Amino acid sequence: MSEVTRPSLSDALTERMLELIRTGGHRPGDRLPSTRELSQRFAVTTPTLREALRRLEATGAIEMRHGSGIYVGADIERLVLPNPNMREMRGAQLLELLGARIVIEPPLAALAAGRATGEELAALQRVLVDAARHLRGQDAELHDANMTFHRATARLAGNRVLHEVVDSLLTVHGAEQREILQIFDDRRRDYDEHLAILEAIEARDAAAAEERMRAHLVDVKTVIEQRLQHPPK
C-alpha cells in the first residue's frame, strides 16, 4: 500500500504554529512568544522549532528579527503553506486529483491547438516518440515520459499561470500520480490516447483536442475507480 509522505513532527509543528497565530487573536505586527517559550510549549527542541518557523517565514506568515523577536507577518491572509500542505493530502484523493485534472487540462489542450507553433509541435512529437521507446522499458521512465507529455501540452497553452498549476499538480502529487499510472497499467492505451490528442492539436482542432484530453483523463479515472472497488487479485 502506498504511504505517500509521512507527517513529520515538523510538518505538524508548522500547522500548530499557524493555529496559534490564528486562534491567538494575533494581528499583523504582533510579537509572538520567544523561541524558548515556543519550543517548551510544543515540547520540541530549538532546531526543530526553527525549521517550522523558517517555513512560515518563507511564505510571509511571520518575520524573525535577530535579537528582537518573532512577529506576525503583514499579510495575515497568507497563512497557508502551498507546498508542504498540499503534499499531506493522500490516499483516496487519487480520484480527486484526477477530477482536478479533468477540469483543468482539457481547456488547456484546446488553447494549445489554437496557438502552438510548428516548432513547439515538433517538440511535442519528440516527447511521444521518446515515450514510445519506453513502452517496454522501466516503469519510472515511461511514467516520466507520460508526465512530460501532459506538462508540455500545458505549456503550449501559453498561459504561464495555468502551466504552473498543472506542473505543480503533477509534481506535488507526484507520488499519487505514480500510483495512478501503476494502477492504470495499460501502456498502449495511454500512448494511443496521447497520440490522438497530439493529432488534434496538430490539426488545430481545438474542440477535438479538448474532448480527447477529457476522454483520456476520464478513461483513466474510470479504470482507477473500478480497480479501487474490485482490486485485481
Among 34, 125, 168, 222, interactor with its own copies by CB under 8 A:
168
Partner whose binding site includes residue 103, from its own copies, DNA, none (CB under 5 to 8 Å by kind): its own copies
**β-bridge partners, 71:** 31, 63
| 106-165: contacts with its own copies (CB under 8 A) | 107-108, 144, 147, 159-162, 164-165
Find how far residue 152's CA is from the centre of its chain: 15
C-alpha–C-alpha distance, residues 210 and 207, integer Å: 5
| DSSP 8-state code for residue 29 | T
3-state secondary structure at position 42? coil
**Residues contributing to the site for DNA (CB under 7 A):** 2-3, 5-6, 8-11, 32-36, 43-48, 50-51, 53, 64-70
The contact mask relative to its own copies for 32-71 (x = CB under 8 A, - = no) is ---------------x--xxx-xxxxxxx--x-xx-----
As given in the structure block, the three cell numbers for residue 174 are: 507526484
Under the binding rule (CB under 8 A), the answer on residue 81 touching its own copies is: yes
Q: What stretches of the chain adopt beta strand conformation (E)?
A: 31-32, 62-65, 69-72
3-state secondary structure at position 31? strand
| DSSP 8-state code for residue 33 | P
Please state whether 32 falls in left (phi above 0), alpha (psi between -120 and 50) or beta.
Answer: beta
The dihedrals phi and psi of 166, each to the nearest 5 degrees, come to: -65, -45
Supply the minimum distance, in Å, between the C-beta of residue 151 and DNA. Answer: 21
C-alpha–C-alpha distance, residues 224 and 11, integer Å: 30
The contact mask relative to its own copies for 189-218 (x = CB under 8 A, - = no) is ------------------------------
3-state secondary structure at position 72? strand
Supply the minimum distance, in Å, between the C-beta of residue 149 and its own copies. Answer: 14
**In this complex, which beta carbon is closest to DNA, that of residue 44 or of residue 108?**
44
Under the binding rule (CB under 8 A), the answer on residue 75 touching its own copies is: yes
Partner whose binding site includes residue 44, from its own copies, DNA, none (CB under 5 to 8 Å by kind): DNA
Supply the minimum distance, in Å, between the C-beta of residue 50 and its own copies. Answer: 6
CA quadruple 93, 97, 103, 104: dihedral, nearest 10:
150
Site residues, its own copies (CB under 8 A): 5-6, 8, 10, 28-29, 47, 50-52, 54-60, 63, 65-66, 73-75, 77-78, 80-87, 89, 93, 96-97, 99-100, 103-104, 107-108, 144, 147, 159-162, 164-165, 167-174
